[in-house]
């Protein structure tokens, strides 16, 4: 495909050269002979955006080396928000009896703080609940996002969600199901 495309471009360029003045000839030849820009894949674009590298920074080279000196990799910090479209919620935190016990106390602490003035932002409430349960704010957010739909389905006597965004291991479902009667009212208080 590329070869036939280049041949077609060469034929068009030759035809253009024959019928155009010398000034236009330079433009056509420059366009044909110029190398195409290298394409960057989505991973490169994402890494650059996440690491926020300055565009003017050039890697340093060691004396006598032909390649740039490698810099130590920066640790990537996971964002505090969660997107089910780009991440696997099961990889954030496994749900078991111990986690649900801590989660219950975290929900109680968040609900108690919501009743007190002054009102806080949603993120601040999540930080407070996370600290009370011994979770990171991100783990706490994901727990709320996973446990609420499961318990709502159980309360409606429907099967829990099982799709790419929300799925549960059998051990997780066995741990959550008997605690839904206590967790669902607390989850509805902290909406």
Lowest-pLDDT range, 63-67, 117-121, 130-134?
Answer: 63-67
Mean pLDDT of the region 39-55 = 61
In the predicted structure, residue 144 carries a pLDDT above the cut 60: yes
pLDDT for 122 equals 85
Buried-state track 53-85, b at ≥16 Cβ within 10 A, e below 16: eeeeeeeeeeeeeeeeeeeeeeeeeeeeebeee
For the residues 115-128, what does the mean pLDDT come to?
88
Percent of the chain exceeding pLDDT 90 equals: 29
DSSP string, 114-157: HTSSSP--HHHHHHHHHHHHT--HHHHHHHHHHHHHHHHHHHTT
- 78 pLDDT band, cuts 50/70/90, is very low
Give the pLDDT confidence score for residue 100 in this predicted structure: 94
Q: What is the mean pLDDT of residues 129-150?
A: 91
Which residues are paired to 68 by β-bridges?
Answer: 61
Of the candidates 87, 62, 90, 68, which has an alpha carbon nearest to the alpha carbon of residue 76? Answer: 87
Instruction: Return d(Cα 82, Cα 87) in angstroms, integer.
Output: 7
Sequence-distant (6+) residues with CB within 8 A of 161 are 149, 150, 153, 167
Closest CA to 145 of 77, 92, 102: 92
């Amino acid at each position: 495909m590329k070869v036939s495309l280049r041949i077609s471009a060469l034929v068009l360029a030759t035809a253009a050269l024959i019928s155009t003045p010398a000034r236009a000839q330079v433009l056509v030849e420059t366009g044909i002979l110029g190398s195409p820009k290298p394409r960057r894949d989505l991973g490169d674009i994402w890494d650059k955006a996440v690491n926020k590298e300055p565009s003017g920074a050039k890697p340093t080279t060691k004396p006598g080396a032909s390649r740039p000196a490698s810099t130590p990799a920066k640790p990537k910090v996971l964002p505090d928000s969660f997107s089910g479209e780009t991440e696997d919620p099961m990889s954030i935190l496994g749900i078991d009896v111990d986690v649900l016990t801590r989660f219950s106390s975290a929900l109680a602490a968040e609900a108690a703080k919501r009743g007190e003035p002054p009102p806080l932002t949603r993120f601040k409430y999540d930080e407070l609940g996370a600290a009370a349960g011994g979770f990171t704010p991100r783990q706490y957010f994901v727990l709320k996002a996973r446990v609420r739909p499961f318990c709502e389905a159980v309360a409606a006597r429907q099967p829990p969600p099982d799709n790419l965004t929300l799925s549960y291991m059998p051990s997780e479902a066995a741990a959550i199901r008997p605690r839904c009667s206590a967790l669902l009212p607390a989850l509805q208080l902290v909406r």
